[in-house]
Amino acid sequence: MSEIRITRNSQGALVLEQPGEEPRPVKPVRALPLTDPEHWIGLMDEKGKPLLMVESLASLDPDSRELLSRELEQTYFLPKITCIQSIFEDYGVLLVSVETDRGSRNFEIRSREHIRFLPAGRILLRDLDGNRYEVPCIQDLDPRSQTLAQGYL
């Protein structure tokens, strides 16, 4: 993929530059955001039409890879839960207080539909505002966190 470059235009949007073509603003989308976030990145035009599929971030030049990685990090903001401070249910809503790799967070989960169990003990939580949080492996949490989670997750 060394023939393509990802840059930013004067408005701050990501731009796809390909030989022989006009630069085009793009929005990156991960095809496999949970299971393989470093591969298969779709570059979509302003109407959501796919322009190019990047097989691997590693195939890009360092500057393009850095720009694309930063944009994806902002788009797919997913704090990892490292410790559960408290969790309890109030009228069917889970009230959760946690420590993450991005700091302390307090959030609410409306229903069990917003708790997704993934392979290898991973759990994905979505709060009332649509924010997502990941428990990378429930067995890797401290014993108190595991005990708190046991009745709810």
Residues 44 and 103 in one domain: no
Residues 102 and 70 in one domain: no
Residues 9 and 70 in one domain: yes
Distance CA 28, CA 50 (A): 10
Domain boundary among 75, 92, 124: 75
Number of domains making up the chain: 2
Tokens 């990047």 — which residue? Answer: 54
- Exposed/middle/buried for residue 100 (C-beta within 10 Å: 0-12, 13-18, 19+): middle
Domain range enclosing 132: 81-150
Residues 118 and 57 in one domain: no
Residues 14 and 29 in one domain: yes
Domain boundary among 32, 49, 75: 75
HEC assignment per residue over the chain = CCCCEEEECCCCCEEEECCCCCCEECEEEECCCCCCCCEEEEEECCCCCEEEEEEEHHHCCHHHHHHHHHHHHHHCCCCEEEEEEEEEEECCEEEEEEEECCEEEEEEECCHHHEEECHHHCEEEECCCCCEEEECCHHHCCHHHHHHHHCCC
At 41, the amino acid letter reads I
Distance CA 153, CA 125 (A): 9
Spatial contact of 97 and 127, defined as CB atoms under 8 Å apart: no
At 101, the amino acid letter reads D
Tokens 């997502």 — which residue? Answer: 132
Domain boundary among 75, 104, 124: 75
Tens digits of pLDDT across the chain (153 residues): 568 999 999 988 999 999 999 999 999 999 988 788 899 999 999 999 999 999 999 999 999 999 999 999 888 888 999 999 999 999 989 999 999 999 999 999 998 899 999 888 899 999 998 899 999 999 999 999 999 998 888
Q: Is the pTM of this model over 0.85?
A: no
